[in-house]
Amino acid sequence: MRVLLLFALALTAPAQPGEWDFLSDPSVFPDVHGMLPAYLKSRAFTMLDQRREIISRISTIADLEARRQRLRERIWSYLGGQPERTALNARVAGTLDRGDYTVEKIIFESRPHFYVTANLYLPKAGKAPYPAILFPLGHELGAKAHSAWQECLAGLARRGFAALAWDPIGQGERVQFYDEDWHGSKLQGSTVEHSILGMQSLLMGTHVAQYTIWDGIRALDYLLSRKEVDPKRVGCTGNSGGGTHTAYLSALDDRIQAAAPSCYITSWRRMLESIGPQDGEQVFPFFLRDGFDYPDYLYAFGGKPFLMLTAIRDFFPIGGARATFAEAKEVFGRLGLASQVAMFEADDGHGYSKPRREAAYRWFTRWLQGKENDSPEAPLTLASEEELQCTRTGQVKTSIPDAADVFTLNLETARRLRAGRTLSAEAIRARAREVTAYETHAGPLQITSYGHLTRPACRVEKLTLQSEPGILLPALLFLPKDGPERRPAILLANGKGKAAAAPDAEALAAKGYVVLAADLRGFGETEPALDRGDYFVRNFGDYESTWNALLIGKTMPGMRAGDVTRGIDLLAARKDVDSARIFVIGRGSAATAALLAALFDGRIRSLLVEGMLSSYDSVVTERILQRNVDQMAPSALRYFDLPAVAAALAPRRVGVFNGVNPLGQELTLSRLKKEYAGLPATVEIGVRPHEQPFAAYAERFLRR
């Protein structure tokens, strides 16, 4: 009897936090935190396997040309098209005499009022016109004044090459988030700048790499405008981010005749197995879905001389570089072009080290000067950053009054898009399906039970629901003990997971609702094991899953909206649920998915979202975002914004409460109403006082 009494007390005792999470124990489920990454990588690997079959069929120069053209077309599509070629308005701001070469300090406009600061290294020996090297920079501090870049640029000039390097956005004299008090960026380095600008651009159907690539193309325009340069003998090389842009520019611009990217070329299979996607300029949405991999940059160069400069101990996996080289060597071998591609390995780490620089000198001397030169790199006295700067203050932003930056250029794009959006509710629904890659998953429900808890007013079932093959959603189903035979039901999704949702779910069940509190993929127990010390995670949240999804043609909000509708399938199939009264509540970072699910699924009678990103437009109109990249949908702002989605749900009711800005800060009621101005009366805007329990507030809204 005593044992039975203790058992009964255990069933009615308050639930402990760990009781709501039941799959995280490896003895119950092998790796619930690895589920989402495994799902995304499995689909990526399938796409890479399918690509291998296509590549095996390249057997003629015509096949290679078709591959080259397809990559070019797709890259320009990813970038949002080619900008207009406008006047460079180039000027020389000063010249340094460096003994056996000179350095000219150049300022030009790659777009109107978008100023680029550059250094042109010119030989003193030999006879013009010289062969030329376009030198995009990596992410190291100092930008064009960085020691390795100076070593390489001087080494090229001493060997008879004209060489042009320029500050990329976010670096050197072109910091985009410059803070005069900090005397530098507000953010943690150029890669964070690129990734924030990347998400803002992504929403508008463009790409931050459109800015960086166009800077490079216009830098080449300037280089070839110089009488000292032979336009028929042009090479391109750079390290890291400069290696990235060497690959991009060589693939897109026929004027480049020889290429040598350093510490970039690897393979997507090895990247996904190791460090994953890097900063915003280095990743294109849909790249894997469209059947591409790193070797395609070599194919897009059309069989011209291409040298892969690699480091055995680089964080870009050397195994991937070797795999890419092996594939390219085989393809070019079938076409009689094997001698045009080569790979150099140095037993060192990431950077444009002396062994790689000297390999680049040999490569360009051979292909652009028609001779062999194995002489070692000579010692160099470095110029200071101040000596090489082109502007008065060392920053475009504080030196040139009319200077534009990426943020202001994006603002103008956003304004044009906003003025042109006039879609109907049905058109918004169709476009939202497209840009979020939303899919429905038919077939029988696959539900697995993991036991139950008995609470004072309800019974709580622990279960998993298969949203689609490879994705299980841990969930808690709260079933009221008393009430009518068929009850209203709520799907409750919280960005912090079902454990955070459980108290509200229990309170709502006590009011007579059947409540399903589910971990949408990537939330709660299914959150990947993120490295909280990683600066991408600190700044952006689950950056890796977001980009892995985009690479394969999916989006996190689209997939999570599918999870919500699969939860609706579960509720609608229950005999104790009134299928005409199914509601959805989304809180925090789950709210965007809940809103989209209501747009796609007419079974949802009404919707309440709290703590949702107020609008996609706010991401573009405010400079900084934080830990919400998993809510973005490419090109959304071309067609709609989140307030328009809420309006498109009419005549169903929508409650939007306690909206947040891109930093996750709650908006005032007046600011939130301004964001949602002009919407139908079916959309209710409000701010819940935090002392008022959420469940009571939500229940009053739902029952009206």
pLDDT tens profile 498-556: 999 999 999 999 999 999 999 999 999 999 999 888 878 988 999 999 999 999 999 99
d(CA 543, CA 276): 10
Q: Span 109-124, mean pLDDT?
A: 98
The token pair at 324 is 């890419």
H and E: helices and strands count for the chain = 25, 20
DSSP letter, residue 614: -
Give 158's Cβ-side CA count (13 Å radius).
18
Do 482 and 391 fall into the same domain? no
| Residue 455 within a domain | yes
Q: Give the pLDDT band of residue 372 (cuts 50, 70, 90).
A: very high
- Under 8 Å between Cβ of 425 and 650: yes
Q: Give the pLDDT band of residue 564 (cuts 50, 70, 90).
A: very high
| Residue 189 within a domain | yes
| Sequence-separated (6 or more) residues with CB below 8 Å from residue 139 | 168, 171, 189, 190, 191, 240, 241, 279
The DSSP H or E segment spanning 657 is strand 653-657
d(CA 428, CA 644): 8
Portion of the chain with pLDDT greater than 70, in percent? 98
Do 394 and 296 fall into the same domain? yes
Q: Which residues are paired to 583 by β-bridges?
A: 490, 606
Q: Span 425-442, mean pLDDT?
A: 96
pLDDT of the residue at 15: 52
Q: Which range of residues forms the domain containing residue 207?
A: 66-258+279-305+377-416
End-to-end Cα spacing for the chain: 48
d(CA 392, CA 413): 30
Question: Residue 183, exposed/middle/buried by CB under 10 A (0-12, 13-18, 19+)?
Answer: exposed
| Residue 363 within a domain | no
Q: Which residues are paired to 490 by β-bridges?
A: 515, 583
Average pLDDT over the chain, rounded to an integer? 95
| Residue 570 within a domain | yes
The CATH number of residue 659's host domain is: 3.40.50.1820
d(CA 154, CA 147): 10
Do 515 and 403 fall into the same domain? no
> Which of these, 684, 662, 554, lies nearest to 606 by C-alpha position?
684
Question: Residue 447, exposed/middle/buried by CB under 10 A (0-12, 13-18, 19+)?
Answer: middle
Do 400 and 529 fall into the same domain? no
Predicted confidence (pLDDT) per residue in 26-48, tens digit:
989 999 999 999 999 999 999 99
Do 202 and 95 fall into the same domain? yes
Number of domains in the chain: 2
Helical residues (DSSP H) of 421-542, grouped into ranges: 425-436, 498-510, 535-540
pLDDT of the residue at 308: 98
Note the Cα 427 to chain centre separation in Å: 26
Predicted confidence (pLDDT) per residue in 72-114, tens digit:
999 999 999 999 999 999 999 999 999 999 999 999 999 999 9
> Which of these, 436, 453, 442, 437, lies nearest to 517 by C-alpha position?
453
> Which of these, 652, 659, 669, lies nearest to 704 by C-alpha position?
652
Q: Is 496 helix (H, G, I), strand (E, B) or coil?
A: coil
d(CA 183, CA 395): 10
The DSSP H or E segment spanning 11 is helix 2-12
How many CB atoms sit inside 10 A of residue 690's CB?
9
Q: Considering all CA atoms of the chain, what is the largest pairwise distance in Å, rounded to the nearest integer?
A: 104
Whether cis (ω within 30° of 0) applies to the bond prior to 379 is no
d(CA 318, CA 473): 37
Q: Amino acid identity, residue 3?
A: V
Q: Give the pLDDT band of residue 2 (cuts 50, 70, 90).
A: very low
pLDDT of the residue at 19: 83
Beta strands 162-166 and 458-468, pairing class:
unpaired
pLDDT of the residue at 16: 57
Q: Give the pLDDT band of residue 222 (cuts 50, 70, 90).
A: very high
Do 612 and 507 fall into the same domain? yes
Q: Is 678 helix (H, G, I), strand (E, B) or coil?
A: coil
d(CA 343, CA 131): 22
Q: Is 686 helix (H, G, I), strand (E, B) or coil?
A: strand
Do 457 and 551 fall into the same domain? yes
pLDDT of the residue at 190: 93
d(CA 220, CA 250): 11
| Residue 431 within a domain | yes
Give 598's Cβ-side CA count (13 Å radius).
33
Is 6 a residue whose pLDDT tops 70?
no
Q: Span 160-189, mean pLDDT?
A: 95
Q: Give the pLDDT band of residue 11 (cuts 50, 70, 90).
A: very low
Question: Residue 15, exposed/middle/buried by CB under 10 A (0-12, 13-18, 19+)?
Answer: middle
Portion of the chain with pLDDT greater than 90, in percent? 93
Q: Span 558-570, mean pLDDT?
A: 98
Is 476 a residue whose pLDDT tops 90?
yes
| Residue 442 within a domain | yes
| Residue 397 within a domain | yes
Do 524 and 390 fall into the same domain? no
Residue 437: which region, alpha, beta or left (left: phi > 0; alpha: psi -120 to 50)?
left
Is 638 a residue whose pLDDT tops 50?
yes
Predicted confidence (pLDDT) per residue in 237-257, tens digit:
999 999 999 999 999 999 999
| Sequence-separated (6 or more) residues with CB below 8 Å from residue 76 | 82, 252
| Residue 35 within a domain | no
Do 405 and 486 fall into the same domain? no
Listing DSSP states for 411-437 in one string gives HHHHHHHHHH----HHHHHHHHHHHHT
Whether cis (ω within 30° of 0) applies to the bond prior to 693 is no
d(CA 476, CA 461): 6
> Which of these, 561, 686, 550, lies nearest to 611 by C-alpha position?
686
Q: Mark which of 369, 400, 416 sits at the end of a domain.
A: 416
pTM of the model: 0.95
| Sequence-separated (6 or more) residues with CB below 8 Å from residue 56 | none
Q: Tokens 């320009």, residue?
A: 76
Q: Span 259-276, mean pLDDT?
A: 98
In 124-177 the beta strands, taken as DSSP E runs, fall at 130-135, 162-166
Do 177 and 241 fall into the same domain? yes
| Sequence-separated (6 or more) residues with CB below 8 Å from residue 443 | none
Do 116 and 136 fall into the same domain? yes
Q: Span 637-658, mean pLDDT?
A: 98
Do 608 and 486 fall into the same domain? yes
